[in-house]
Amino acid sequence: MPDIAAELGVARSSVSLWTRGVAFTPGRRRGRRRGPNALQLRKQAEVEELLAQGREWIGELSEREFLVAGAALYAGEGSKRDGMVVFANSDPRMMAFFATWLRTFFEIDESRLRMKVYLHVGLDLDAAVEFWSAVTDVPKEQFRAPYRAVPDPTIRLTKHVNGCAYLVYCCSRTHRAIMGLSAALLSSVPIPG
């Protein structure tokens, strides 16, 4: 109301009378809302420019590029323990990418795929299972017992609402084939020194 009174050059009491029937929503900021500053605008422009550049550089993946990308992803995020393909991540795009990659390049017995969710106590387990099932196309019946972590406020304040998902496929041959791809990828560029 002070801003309206100043803008119109009238008393606050007049504005109060004029706005008596207007609904009030608590929690709104007083005064004018500031927009982003120059630094924030430059940062936002740079982020948008580089996202567009990334999409242009990557483009549509060929089958071979998809194979290599999945091998690199597993080399960084997958389990190295023999006999089990295990890929864990909290980013649904990574999980969808890996699940699609696994099914594209390997003959998978869908009934042997398993999922597990790592989720903080207090977050909705049913919603998380539903979410990860939709992301990976693994039926909810094939989810193992979840790991429920007790939140420690001294470590982290933010938590992933859907937790971290683990896709598990027990097949030694498939795991060894993936490890062969990862080894070939990592040996393709000599390490200096």
> DSSP strand E in 19-163: where?
84-89, 113-120, 147-149
At 17-60, the pLDDT tens digits run 777 777 766 665 555 667 778 888 899 999 999 999 999 999 99
At 112-169, the pLDDT tens digits run 999 999 998 888 999 999 999 999 999 999 999 989 888 666 665 556 889 999 999 9
Domain boundaries, the chain: 64-186
Cα dihedral sign, 44-45-46-50: positive
pLDDT value for 49: 94
What mean pLDDT is predicted for residues 171-188?
95
pLDDT value for 158: 59
pLDDT value for 75: 95
Q: Which residue has the tokens 């120059």?
A: 38
Q: In what order do the strands lie in the sheet with 113-120?
A: 84-89, 164-170, 113-120, 147-149
Least confident of 64-68, 78-82, 153-157: 153-157
pLDDT value for 32: 61
Residue 36, φ and ψ in degrees, nearest 5: -65, 145
CB–CB of 67/105 below 8 Å?
yes
pTM of the model: 0.74
**Which residue(s) pair with 117 in the sheet?**
165
State how beta strands 147-149 and 84-89 pair. unpaired
pLDDT value for 24: 67
Domain 64-186, CATH: 3.30.1330
pLDDT value for 154: 65
* Lookup: tokens for 82: 């023999």
CA distance 179 to 184: 8
The answer for residues whose C-beta is within 8 angstroms of residue 176's C-beta and 6 or more apart is 82
**Which residue(s) pair with 15 in the sheet?**
none
